[in-house]
């Protein structure tokens, strides 16, 4: 019983820590100019994805909701539109990746999970832009559709690719720190540096480069 209580306490503490880290990440990324005047680039989805890998998929929508709500109350200048888009992007990305990883806890599982997350998040965000953006900005739907191939599609793909790369490369170091702080049991989430670690760094580095090139082109 005591062991289960400790796990719950550690999980709640972890959710709080990662929620704070995700919000701080958002604050730091606020210095980056928006793309197209309304698309914000940030790395909080990587933080939420790492948390969901450690504590399970259900944590993904919880932290996404907490961070989106705090951002809405404090620093957002896009009102309900930003609240919806921020929550949807973070929740879909981290939930999709962690669901796959839950059943295949390996480099391949993480890679497949992030690949699925990139496709799912990009697709859903394009649909939300088509149906919500015209209403919020008071612009014709046709005008938004024209932005799909030149701005919205490459931006959402690059953003999710960027967050995937960051999450891949930081997962083991973060788990190591959490284990040192006794917030993650030492018997879980092995962090041994091996061939998969090298592969992770290579794939993550290439993904970061590709995302950076795409963002530079559309900025």
Q: Which of 6-15, 62-71, 135-144 has the lowest mean pLDDT?
A: 6-15
List Cα–Cα distances, 186 to 45, 51, 139, in angstroms. Answer: 25, 16, 53
CA 105 vs CA 102, 116, 172: distances in Å = 6, 15, 13
pLDDT for the residue 32: 85
Angstrom CA distances, 46 to 72, 80, 140, 164, 166, stand at 19, 23, 33, 6, 6
Interatomic CA distance for residues 36 and 208, integer angstroms: 21
Of the listed ranges 9-13, 119-123, 185-189, 198-202, the one predicted with least confidence: 185-189
Q: In the prediction, which pLDDT does 176 show? A: 82
Angle at 162 between CA 157 and CA 166, to 5 degrees: 150
Residues 129-178: tens digit of each pLDDT: 999 999 988 889 999 999 999 999 999 999 999 999 999 999 988 888 88
pLDDT at 38 over 90: no
Mean pLDDT of the chain: 89
* Architecture of the CATH domain 2-218: Orthogonal Bundle (1.10)
149-174: b (≥16 Cβ within 10 Å) or e? eebbbbbbbbbbbbbbbbbbbbbbeb
Residue 186 has pLDDT above 70, yes or no: no
Strand partners, 35: 39
pLDDT at residue 183 tops 80: no
Tokens of 21: 């880290």
What's this model's pTM, rounded to 2 decimal places? 0.92
């Amino acid at each position: 019983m005591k062991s289960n209580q400790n796990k719950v306490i550690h999980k709640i503490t972890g959710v709080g820590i990662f929620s704070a880290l995700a919000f701080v990440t958002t604050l730091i990324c606020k210095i980056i100019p928006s793309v197209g005047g309304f698309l914000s680039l940030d790395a909080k989805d990587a933080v939420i994805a790492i948390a969901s890998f450690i504590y399970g998929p259900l944590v993904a929508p919880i932290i996404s909701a907490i961070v989106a709500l705090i951002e809405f109350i404090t620093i957002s200048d896009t009102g309900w539109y930003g609240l919806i888009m921020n929550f949807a992007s973070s929740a879909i990305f981290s939930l999709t990746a962690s669901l796959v990883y839950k059943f295949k806890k390996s480099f391949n599982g993480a890679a497949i999970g992030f690949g699925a997350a990139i496709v799912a998040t990009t697709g859903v965000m394009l649909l939300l832009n088509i149906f919500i953006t015209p209403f919020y900005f008071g612009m014709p739907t046709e005008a938004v559709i024209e932005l799909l191939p030149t701005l919205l599609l490459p931006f959402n793909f690059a953003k999710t690719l960027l967050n995937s790369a960051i999450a891949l490369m930081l997962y083991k170091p973060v788990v190591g720190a959490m284990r040192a702080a006794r917030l993650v049991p030492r018997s879980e989430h092995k962090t041994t540096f091996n061939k998969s670690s090298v592969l992770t760094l290579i794939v993550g580095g290439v993904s970061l480069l590709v995302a950076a090139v795409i963002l530079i082109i559309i900025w």
